[in-house]
Each structure stands twice: as C-alpha cells, then as structure tokens.
Amino acid sequence: MSEPSNAGIVKVGEERIIPGSQRADGSFRKERKVRPGFTPLEDVKRYTIPQRRTANPGSARPEIPVTKRNEEVRPAKFTPVQSVNRPLEKNDNALDQKVEKKTDQKSAKEDEPKEKQQEQLSGEDSLVDSMAKLSLEKSSK
C-alpha cells in the first residue's frame, strides 16, 4: 500500500483504490476502485508559466530598500475650510417649503368632496325626504 494522494487514492499493487470510510452519521462507505488513467482534480498539478519554472524561487520577490529618515514627519498645518452650513440651510429651507406645499395640497384635496361624494351627499337629502314620506305613510295606515 502506498501513501494516499490528495484525493485519497491509494495504490495497492497495480490497482488504485479509494479506501472505505465512516460517515458522520455512523454508516460506512464502500471501498471503490479507480479506473486506470483517471486523475481526479485534486491530483492534477497546476499549470505554471515557463518563466516561473526556470526562475529561482528566491528571486521572485523584489527587495525593499531600507533607508534612514532624514526628517521627522510632521502633520500638515490646519487650513480652515469655508462654511459648509449655508448651502445646506438653503437646501433644508427648500425641502421644508416643498413639504409644506405638498401637505397644503393634500389638506385642500381632503376638504373638497369629490364628484361622487357630492352626488352621494345630494342623494342623501332626497333619501332622507323619501324615508320621512314613507314613515308618514306607514303611520297614517
């Protein structure tokens, strides 16, 4: 028996086998034979470009030059920025005006009854009259 490959395949004589194992739930997997010539993805070697194959592994990383500091790093001088609040206040005022306009429009729409509502209201008066007439007729009988 040889050492298992990355995929877990073991060579026994001329046969290649994936040995049986136990699952997490306690059941057992069967031992499986691997077809001759089959190479699982775990065992396939990654492609490397020819320049990297011939290059020395140590020369791949460039060296970083180390120098002494001539001057100490000092924070930059503070330069004040012009006030940012004024344009924001203008935007706030504009937004407030838009909101007020929308709420005024909504309240105006809610105050005025729509056409259907007006028809129903006018019909309501006639209904009250007809009900009064009916009640008078019933009481007179």
Q: How far apart are CA 12 and CA 62, in angstroms?
A: 46
Name the pLDDT band for 98 (thresholds 50, 70, 90): confident
Full-model pTM: 0.33
DSSP-derived letter for residue 25 is: T
Looking up tokens 């993805």 gives 41
Q: How far apart are CA 125 and CA 120, in angstroms?
A: 9
pLDDT at 125: 67
pLDDT at 88: 56
